[in-house]
Amino acid sequence: MTIEELDQIAESVRAANAKFDYEVNVCMGTGCLSQHSDQLKDALAKEANAQGKNALIRRTGCMGLCAAGPLVLCDPDEILYQHVKADNAQQLVASLGGDPVRKLQCDLREHFDQQVHVVLENSGHIDPERIDDYIARDGYQALLKALIEMTPQEVIHEITEAGLRGRGGGGYPTGLKWSTVAKATGDFKYVICNGDEGDPGAFMDRSVLESDPQRVIEGMAIAAYAVGASKGFVYVRAEYPLAVARLTACLRDARRRGLLGNNICNTPFSFDVEIRLGAGAFVCGEETALIASIEGKRGQPKPRPPYPAVSGLWGKPTLINNVETFANVPPILRKGGKWFAGIGTEKSKGTKVFAITGKITNTGLVEVPMGMTLRKIIEGIGGGVPDGHAFKAVQTGGPSGGCIPAEHLDIPVSYESLIQMGSMMGSGGMIVMDDTSCMVNVARFFIEFCMTESCGKCIPCRAGTAQMFTLLTRICSGSGTMDDLELLVDLCGTIKETSLCGLGMTAPNPVLSTLKYFKNEYIDHIVHKRCPAGVCNIHAPAPEAASPFEVLA
C-alpha cells in the first residue's frame, strides 16, 4: 500500500458515491439498533428501489442524539430525521429531492452547531465496517505519512506539540507517555488500547469503537511506530458485543489491505492487533489491573513504580492509552500538532467527547472544544432539564468524580478546573440531576458501586468503602447522627491517602463533593429526618442489608 494507492481507493469510493443522487445515512449504533434501525434500513432500500430513486442507503455509526433514535440523515440536503420507523420509509424516500417530511424532522441547530467534531468527524458519515469509506475520508493517510516521511521521534514531537492529554480521565500528557515508552529498553514492546469503559453512564468509547473503529486502529499503529512496539491489544468490555463485532471485522479488513501485519507499506514496520474481552470488572480500567487481566489473571492492580511504560505486559515496556486518545492521533498527524493545540484552553488542548445523560432533553453524545462552560454544554447543547424541573447538579467523572452544583455552571471544562471543583474529567460521562434526585442517595449509589467493584487487594479500599456504605445507608434511612458525618469525612481522607490504586484514591470524591456543595441535604437527613427530594425512605428502620458488609470488612 502506498499513498497513491490510498488516493486511488479514496477516488474510486468518491466516484461510486457520486453516481447516486441522494445519500441516506441510517444510524446503526447500539441505541438506534435497539429501536430496529436495521429493519428501517432494509425498508428504505426496498422503497428506494420501488420508487426508482437513485439513492445510496448507508449504515453508519452513532449520530449522537441517542434519545431521538432511530436517526436518519439525508444528503445532500443534510436533513436529519428523528424517531423514524420502518413505516415512514415510503414517505421519507418520496421526499428525497422535494420538501422534507416536517413531522419527523429534527431541527436542533443549537445542538449541532456548537460542537466541534475531531474524534467524531466520521461518526454518522461512514459505514464503520467498510474500510474504503474510512480511506475516502482521509483514513490511513496519517499512518502512511508517519511511516514514510517521519521518524518515530518526529511523531512523538508532533503529539507533544499538540498538547494531547490522556482522555481516560487522568489527563497525563500523551507525548510524555509515548517518549517514556520509546526510551525504555527492551526488544519487545506492546501497545494497549483501553476500551474498558467501566464508568457507568459513559459510552464514548463504545460509540467511537462502533462508529469509527478504523480510526482507533490507525491511532494504535501510529503509536506503535512511535514507541517501537510490534504487538497491540484492544481491551474491550464484553458488554459491548456490537463494538467487538465491528472491531473484529475492521481488523480483518485492515490486515487484508496490508495496513496491519508484516512490513506495513513496504517499510520495516510490523504491527498487529488482537482483541481481548473484559469480563465485567470496573477496576480493570486501571492500567496495571488491565495488564493483569490481559495476562489471564484476576484484575488486581500493582503498586507503581515500575510503571507499565517500563515494565508492563509480561514485564515488557507497554504503552496504554484510552480509545479516545488513540482516536485523536490520526487528525493530529494529518493536520499538525499546531492545529490541534489551537483548540481548547492553555493546558487542556483539543476537544472532548461527553456522554450527556440523566435528566436532560437531548441525551446523547457531544464533542466540544475544551474550555466551553458547563452551562453552554448542559443548557445550550443539552437543551436543559425537561419537564419544568430545576437543575440541581451535574456529575462528571463517574464513580471517581463529583457533583457540580448550579452555581458553578459557568466554569470552563478542562482537566484543572474540574479537579478544582472536587470532581474530575474522567472518561467523559456527564449525568445531569434535577430536583428529584437526592444527593445523599446518589453518593450512596456511587459508594455502593465502588464497594462492589473494589478488587479487595488493599484494605483502605476494601474495608473503607464498605464502612462508608454502612454510614451512608444509615444516613439515608434517617438513623444517622452528626458523629456519623464526622466519621464519614475522616474515612474519606484515610481512603484517599492510603489506597493502592486510582479506584480507592478517588472513591471518596462523590461523598466529598456532595458534602461540599449539598451539606444541607445531609443535615436534613440526619437532624430533620427528611429527604428534601423525597427519594429516601426515611421512616423505614435501618435496613439489615448493610450488616453483611460490616462483617465482611
Distance CA 84, CA 491 (A): 51
C-beta of 89 vs 439, nearer to another protein: 439
For the CB of residue 240, give the shortest distance to another protein in the complex, in Å.
Answer: 6
CB atoms within 10 A of CB 430: 26
For the CB of residue 441, give the shortest distance to another protein in the complex, in Å.
Answer: 9
C-beta of 250 vs 365, nearer to another protein: 365
C-beta of 142 vs 442, nearer to another protein: 442
For the CB of residue 431, give the shortest distance to another protein in the complex, in Å.
Answer: 5
For the CB of residue 143, give the shortest distance to another protein in the complex, in Å.
Answer: 27
For the CB of residue 30, give the shortest distance to another protein in the complex, in Å.
Answer: 5
Beta bridge partners of 434: 391
Residues interacting with another protein, by CB under 8 A? 30-31, 33-35, 65-67, 69, 197-203, 206, 237-240, 276-282, 293-299, 355, 357-359, 363-365, 395, 398, 429, 431, 433, 437, 442, 445-446, 449, 453, 455
C-beta of 4 vs 387, nearer to another protein: 387
C-beta of 104 vs 291, nearer to another protein: 291
C-beta of 178 vs 233, nearer to another protein: 233
Distance CA 48, CA 20 (A): 12
For the CB of residue 505, give the shortest distance to another protein in the complex, in Å.
Answer: 20
Of 256, 254, 308, residue with least CA distance to 134: 254
Distance CA 87, CA 100 (A): 16
DSSP states of 223-266: HHHHHT--EEEEEE-TT-HHHHHHHHHHHHHHHHTTSSBSSGGG
Q: Which residue has the cell 472544544?
A: 369
For the CB of residue 78, give the shortest distance to another protein in the complex, in Å.
Answer: 22
For the CB of residue 495, give the shortest distance to another protein in the complex, in Å.
Answer: 20
C-beta of 198 vs 371, nearer to another protein: 198
Q: Which residue has the cell 481488523?
A: 251
Which phi and psi angles does 431 have, rounded to 5°?
-110, 120
Distance CA 54, CA 499 (A): 62
C-beta of 264 vs 431, nearer to another protein: 431
Query: What sign for the dihedral angle of Cα 494, 497, 499, 501?
Result: positive
Distance CA 496, CA 33 (A): 41
Of 451, 339, 413, residue with least CA distance to 171: 413
DSSP states of 441-499: HHHHHHHHHHHHH--SSSHHHHHHHHHHHHHHHHHHTT---HHHHHHHHHHHHHHHHH-
Q: Which residue has the cell 423505614?
A: 540
DSSP states of 495-533: HHHH-SSHHHHHTTHHHHHHHHH-HHHHHHHHTS---TT
- Cα–chain center distance at 9: 30
Would you call 103 helix, strand, or coil by DSSP? helix
C-beta of 197 vs 218, nearer to another protein: 197
For the CB of residue 533, give the shortest distance to another protein in the complex, in Å.
Answer: 11
C-beta of 200 vs 383, nearer to another protein: 200
∠ CA 38-99-72, rounded to 5°: 20
User: Is the CB of residue 35 less than 8 Å from the CB of residue 70?
Assistant: yes
C-beta of 228 vs 299, nearer to another protein: 299
| Assigned C-alpha cell, 27 | 444510524
For the CB of residue 198, give the shortest distance to another protein in the complex, in Å.
Answer: 7
For the CB of residue 200, give the shortest distance to another protein in the complex, in Å.
Answer: 3
For the CB of residue 60, give the shortest distance to another protein in the complex, in Å.
Answer: 16
What letter does residue 119 receive in the DSSP assignment?
T
- Cα–chain center distance at 385: 22
CB atoms within 10 A of CB 19: 8
